[in-house]
Amino acid sequence: MSKNSSFSISNPDKLKLDAVQKIGLIVALLGVSILFVAWFGITFPYPAVFLSISALFIFIGTVVYAKQTYLKQPAGIKNNNVWFNSLSNRGVLGWFLGIVLTLFYVLLYWFPSYLGYDPSGAQNRGLVALFDPLSLFFNGKIASQWFVYGTLYTLLIASLGIKFMYKYRHNRYQLIRTVVVIVSQLFLAYLIPEILEGLNSDTPYFAKDIKNMWPLNYYFFEPWHLDNMINGGTLGMLYLVIGIFMFLVFTPIITYYVGKRWYCSWVCGCGGLAETAGDSFRQLSSKTVSSWKIERWMIHTVMVLIFIVTAVVLYGYFANSGEFLGISIYNYFSKPYGFLIGAMFSGVVGVGFYPVLGSRVWCRFGCPLAGYMGLFQRFKSRFRITTNGGQCISCGNCSTYCEQGIDVRAYAQKGENIVRASCVGCGICSAVCPRGVLKLENGPEEGRINPTDVLLGNDIDLMNYVNKKQ
Ligand code: SF4
Ligand code: SF4
């Protein structure tokens, strides 16, 4: 291609940083570099000081960078550069970040000593030792790798949540939702569980994230957990009763009224990270019909699996036996599920692959709680996204930025309501639509689904339509 050609496949709108953006970026990277130095085995002499500097630098640097970046451009999505940026389009930077994240998760789950964790509890080193003073402050114990993870997770959601709010500042739904996401993570998933752990260190019956519930919190009905709740006094029994009530009664009722968004996009920790830290990767979710088919099979298979595993575990608990049909329940049911789904899928793949497969891989293909709520949302709920098809200019923003891989534009072009089990109600499709076509609504059930559709007929109809377009 000639130098003067009017077309170029190189970056048409190269990202240029001004002085404030550069300062913000450098400050944030300095904060991150303290963590990396610690990860490589350096134990800092004053860990409380270095951890505070690191956390403050990451937070302040990110906020300064985000404010300067987003306030000088129109609110909402700006497509320029997204498909040319190495980080947001599976380039070298994207793959590099994916590999680092995956490696971090592998170490976190199976080799925490490489992060500096001392399993004997005597003396941590490196990265984990950096968090010892904070852990001692909250719960009187030196840090575990999970404390490090929880702290960094919360820091990421808070700092990138603010970035998200600058970006979507024109949309009240996004602003309120993100404040709720940050507050839920900070209090329900981090501060309260840490303080409770300090008060009940011998009977850890509460999940690290107290807003998790079965079947996402897959060990809820494990014998050790049941015993700890039953022996945990009033608080333990309360936790048991609330846990069952949440799943059996509260979740179906609230999902009926507002869809599964109340959990997936407002309070869930996995969803919170996907919405904030994963925002730069939402366009990478596959929109093909084959992904849609795989998604439906996978998420419901995982859901059936956890129902079976839990039934067997409860059978063993009440029969006072560790075996089912002569085989070990732990070795053949609980352990494989915990390894394959709880660790590999939700942790390593779910977050490690953000820069490659998009930010909601776990929520879309694996989360059994999302699968359970999705059934209500699809068949018995008032939630839908309405489309004012006449206004649609087919720009495709909505489909591009739907993290759940829903081809929203196909519905808009047909003027059909979007009633999909997988929709997490993040509202981004509506926030990025330049024509105000899409509206998240909780209306009467009647008329929500096209009356000519029978059960899955709507989806099959849409699949045929999308197939023809591809
Ligand atoms: S359809 Fe819209 S609200 Fe639903 S998941 Fe996709 S972007 Fe979010
Ligand atoms: S619904 Fe809005 S965002 Fe989606 S294709 Fe139509 S105009 Fe574009």
Among protein residues, the one whose CA lies closest to atom 4 of ligand 1: 423
**Alpha-carbon dihedral of residues 113, 117, 119, 123, nearest 10 degrees?**
120
Task: Please indicate whether residue 467 or residue 295 has the higher confidence score (pLDDT).
Answer: 295
Band (405; pLDDT cuts 50, 70, 90): very high
| Ligand 1: centre distance to CA 431 (Å) | 10
398 CA from centroid of ligand 1 (Å): 8
pLDDT at residue 458, as a whole number: 53
Tell me the two tokens of residue 43. 């134990």
Is residue 58 in a domain?
yes
pLDDT at residue number 198 = 77
Main-chain dihedrals φ then ψ at residue 193, nearest 5 degrees:
-60, -40
Which CATH number characterizes residue 437's domain? Answer: 3.30.70.20
At 221, is the secondary structure helix, strand, or coil?
A: coil
Q: Is 270 exposed, middle or buried (0-12, 13-18, 19+ CB in 10 A)?
A: buried
Count of domains for the chain:
2
The full DSSP string for 273-297 is: HHHHTTGGGGGGS---HHHHHHHHH
pLDDT tens sequence across 187-228: 999 998 888 877 766 666 665 667 789 999 998 999 989 998
The secondary structure of residue 44, as a DSSP letter, is P
Residue 445 within a domain? yes
- Quickly count: other Cβ atoms within 10 Å of residue 15's Cβ: 11
Q: SS3 sequence, 431-469?
A: HHCCCCCEEEEECCCCCCCCCCCCCCHHHHHHHHHHHHH
User: Among 181-185, 193-197, 265-269, which is the least confidently predicted range?
Assistant: 193-197
Q: Which residues line ligand 1 (CB under 6 A)?
A: 385, 402, 404, 406, 408, 418, 423-429
Report the pLDDT value the prediction gives residue 347, as an integer from 0 to 100. 86
Position 454 scores a pLDDT of: 45
How high is the pLDDT of residue 207? 58
Size (the chain), residues? 470
Bigger pLDDT: 24 vs 447: 24
- Residue 238 clears pLDDT 80, i.e. is over it: yes
Query: pLDDT for 126-151, tens place per residue?
Result: 999 999 999 999 888 899 999 999 99
Phi, psi of 384 (to 5 degrees): -160, 160
Instruction: Give the residue carrying structure tokens 């998200």.
Output: 164
Work out the average pLDDT over 43-67.
Answer: 95
Compute the mean pLDDT over every residue in the chain, rounded to the nearest whole number.
89
Number of other residues whose CB lies within 10 A of the CB of residue 250: 13
Q: Which residue has the tokens 């404010």?
A: 67
**What is the rounded CA–CA span in Å between residue 197 and residue 278?**
29
Cα R_g (the chain), whole angstroms: 23
b/e per residue 407-434 (b: at least 16 CB within 10 A): bbbbbbbeebbbbbbbbbbbbbbbbbbe
Residue 212 lies in a domain: no
Residue 360 pLDDT grade (very low, low, confident, very high; cuts 50, 70, 90): very high
What's the average model confidence in pLDDT over 261-282? 95
Query: 28 Cβ partners below 8 Å, 6+ apart?
Result: 57, 58, 60, 61, 62, 65
Q: Where does the pLDDT of residue 10 fall: very low under 50, low under 70, confident under 90, or very high at 90 and above?
A: very low
Per-residue pLDDT band for 5 (boundaries 50, 70, 90) equals very low
Q: Please count the CA atoms within 13 angstroms of the CA of 341 that sit on its side-chain side.
A: 27
Q: Which residues line ligand 2 (CB under 6 A)?
A: 392-398, 408-409, 412, 433-435, 437-438
Give me the pLDDT at residue 206, please.
65
Least confident of 53-67, 229-243, 275-289, 386-400: 229-243
Highest mean pLDDT, choosing among 5-14, 208-217, 378-387: 378-387
Any domain includes 151? yes
Token reading at 359: 């930010």
- Residue 387 falls inside a structural domain: yes
Residue 425: left if φ>0, alpha if ψ -120 to 50, beta else—which one? left
Nearest ligand, CA 401: 1
Per residue in 300-323, pLDDT (tens digit) is 999 999 999 999 999 999 998 889
Distance CA 266, CA 324 (A): 39
Residue whose CA is at the smallest distance from ligand 1 atom 1: 423
- Domain boundary residue among 139, 171, 199? 199
Does residue 417 lie in a domain region?
A: yes
| pLDDT value, residue 109 | 93
Q: How far is the CA of 362 from the centre of ligand 2 (A)?
A: 26
pLDDT above 90 for 284: yes
pLDDT at 15: 63
What is the band of 291 on the pLDDT scale with cuts at 50, 70, 90?
very high
Q: Given a cut of 90, is residue 8 above it in pLDDT? A: no
* Distance between Cα 37 and ligand 2 center (Å): 46
pLDDT of residue 99: 95
Give the domain extent around 188.
Answer: 19-72+111-199
Q: Averaged over 82-102, what is the pLDDT? A: 93
Q: 39 in a domain, yes or no?
A: yes
**pLDDT single digits (tens) 156-169:** 999 999 999 999 99
Confidence label for 45 from pLDDT (cuts 50, 70 and 90): confident
Name the residue at shortest CA distance from atom 5 of ligand 1: 423
Is the distance from CB of 334 to CB of 309 less than 8 angstroms?
yes
Instruction: Check residue 465 and give its pLDDT.
Output: 57
Is 86 a domain residue?
Answer: no
Q: Is residue 180 very low, low, confident or very high in pLDDT (cuts 50, 70, 90)? A: very high
Six token digits for residue 154: 């919360």
For residue 423, the CA-to-ligand 2 centroid distance in Å is: 17
DSSP label at 115? Answer: G
User: What's the gap in Å between 282 CA and the centre of ligand 1?
Assistant: 11
Q: Pick the atom of ligand 2 nearest to 433's CA.
A: 3
Pocket test for ligand 1, best of 268, 367, 418, 428 (most atoms within 8 A of CB): 428
Residue 240 has pLDDT above 50, yes or no: yes
Last residue of a domain, one of 145, 179, 199: 199
H or E segment at 264? helix 261-264
Residues forming a β-bridge with 438 = 387
Percent of the chain with pLDDT over 70: 90
Mutation test residue for ligand 2: of 388, 408, 439, the one with most atoms within 8 Å of CB: 408
For the packed helices 223-230 and 233-245, what is the interaxial angle rounded to 10 degrees?
130
Question: Of 199, 224, 246, which residue is a domain's last?
Answer: 199
Out of 119-133, 177-191, 207-221, 351-365, which region has the weakest mean confidence (pLDDT)?
Answer: 207-221
- pLDDT value at residue 7: 38
What mean pLDDT do residues 61-74 have? 93
pLDDT in tens, 20-36: 999 999 999 999 999 99
The ligand 2 atom at the shortest distance from the C-alpha of residue 394 is 5
Residue 2 has pLDDT above 70, yes or no: no
Write down the pLDDT at residue 3.
Answer: 41
